[in-house]
Amino acid sequence: MAAAVLVAAVTGCSSTPGVTNAAVCDSPGVTSNEVNLGLVYSDSGVGSAAFSSARAGADARFGLANEEGGVHGRKIVYQWRDDANDPAQNARVAQELVRGGGTFGLVTVTTAFGGAPAELAKQNVPVIGFALPTWGQYQNMFSNMYQASPVTIGRYLQNSGGSKIGIVITGSSASTLDIIKTYKSAFESVGLTVADTISYAHSADSPARVAQELAATGVNALVAFTTTEDLAEIMGAVRAAKLNLATTVSFTGYDRGVLPTLGPALAGVSVPVYFRPFEAGGAAIDRYRTAMVRYAPEATQPDQQFAMEAYIYADMFVRGLELAGDCPTREGFISALQSVADYDAGGLIEPVNLATNRTGALDCYAFVQVNPTGTGFQVARPRLCANGTAG
């Protein structure tokens, strides 16, 4: 770590008598009083509602850092771009932000990665954000989690009374179908049976048709790779068809903002959570909520999944800048962050080694559930692991 900081100081700054290192740093996006970053997230496009709170989370963490004096005396500022959940636009806006050396690095909250990761790796641009498993091959890209063990989902389904699992997806993209193959294999490895995948197209399809197909296959549990809105429609049809499911797991929907309109339809739905659940409380959650109220007041409901995710990514960027020294370089930042063996986002996540976590899956995480009235969430499992142990 000390060596990385030294390299950063030597390679990024010149020594001029009577002038601080920060004043003469010539790293991309770094001035004497600011570090300029970029934020890319899906503010529009299919499924974008799940990511809509991301900017508020980034504002909260960077605002907190700036209130505490910035990083080595520099204020963190950023420009943001919407990739519209489109891979081509994602690559375009990412390059727009880094072109000309105006941005030190990027925070990304999106799944619409096309050619951007490879290009950003060539330029050695630090990227921290919501990762896909393919990120692991790029040393410039960081996340607290690259993939979560699907076996843990299988354990949760099994412990909740599921034995034959139905899978519903929004659309039919090749990437989603590939991911489902992994989940199906994982579910079968713990003794579950998996029915054929059912595709649902919002506004052009009937949720009643999905409920009928689920009933015909005899499933007693459901896993949804859908938007929250699509799942609410499907769950309404499932209840109308009197299909008794032991449990339903969704990968989106942990957002109090959706409960006033969708909560009753989503009652009983469980969501895996890869950070400390809001309902668990504690000092780290209190600090997050305080920052959200102070620096992202437009987010009237701070307890939103991707606001927290973005807050964690921003926190990781702050940590990297702190370690990279008075005059951060991209190379020094990457090296310094790779040396962190116990990153926990101030108590929001289980400690991870940022040098090695890219090669494995997160085995242990929490589950929350929409309460029976659809008015709130409750912690269903504070911790469940792929090997079956619980906490």
Confidence of residue 17 (pLDDT cuts 50, 70, 90): very low
The neighbour count for residue 340, using CB atoms within 10 Å, is 19
* Beta strands per DSSP E along the chain: 34-41, 75-82, 105-109, 127-129, 141-142, 164-170, 193-194, 198-200, 221-225, 247-250, 269-273, 364-370, 377-385
What number of helices (H) and strands (E) belong to the chain?
13, 13
Select from 323, 341, 336, 279 the least CA-distant residue to 305. 279
Query: Among positive and negative, which fits the CA dihedral 187, 192, 195, 198?
Result: negative
Query: In this structure, which topology does domain 150-273+364-385 adopt according to CATH?
Result: Rossmann fold (3.40.50)
> Residue 367 has which token pair?
């589950």
SS3 330: helix
* Residue range 187-237, pLDDT digits in tens: 999 999 999 999 998 767 899 999 999 999 999 999 999 999 999 999 999
SS3 170: strand
Task: Write down the pLDDT at residue 22.
Answer: 45
Unique residue bearing structure tokens 């959650």: 285
Confidence of residue 24 (pLDDT cuts 50, 70, 90): low
Query: In this structure, which topology does domain 2-147+279-359 adopt according to CATH?
Result: Rossmann fold (3.40.50)
Contacts of 303 (CB under 8 A, 6+ apart): 255, 256, 278, 289
Confidence of residue 18 (pLDDT cuts 50, 70, 90): very low
Please write down the HEC assignment for all residues of 139-166: CCEECCCCCECHHHHHHHHHHCCCCEEE
* Residue range 126-141, pLDDT digits in tens: 999 999 888 889 999 9
* Residue range 150-185, pLDDT digits in tens: 999 999 999 999 999 999 998 877 778 888 999 999
Mean pLDDT, the chain, whole residue set: 90
- CA 331/CA 4 separation, integer angstroms: 9
Give how far Cα 34 sits from Cα of 144, 238, 304, Å: 25, 53, 29
Query: Domain-by-domain residue ranges, the chain?
Result: 2-147+279-359, 150-273+364-385
Q: Cα angle at 155 between 154 and 157, to 5 degrees?
A: 65
Who wins on pLDDT, 198 or 19? 198
Q: Got the DSSP string for 249-299? A: EESS--BGGGHHHHHHHHTTEEEEESS--GGG--HHHHHHHHHHHHH-TT-
User: Do 2-147+279-359 and 150-273+364-385 come out as alike in CATH topology?
Assistant: yes
Task: Write down the pLDDT at residue 204.
Answer: 73
- CA 45/CA 86 separation, integer angstroms: 7
Unique residue bearing structure tokens 């390679």: 11
- In the chain, the percentage of residues whose pLDDT exceeds 90 is 79
* Residue range 313-367, pLDDT digits in tens: 999 999 999 999 999 999 999 999 999 999 999 999 999 999 999 888 899 999 9
Rounded to the nearest angstrom, the gap between the alpha carbon of residue 9 and the centroid of all alpha carbons in its chain is 32
Find the DSSP H helices in 37-173. Answer: 54-67, 87-98, 116-122, 150-159
Four-point Cα dihedral 64, 113, 144, 337, nearest 10: -80
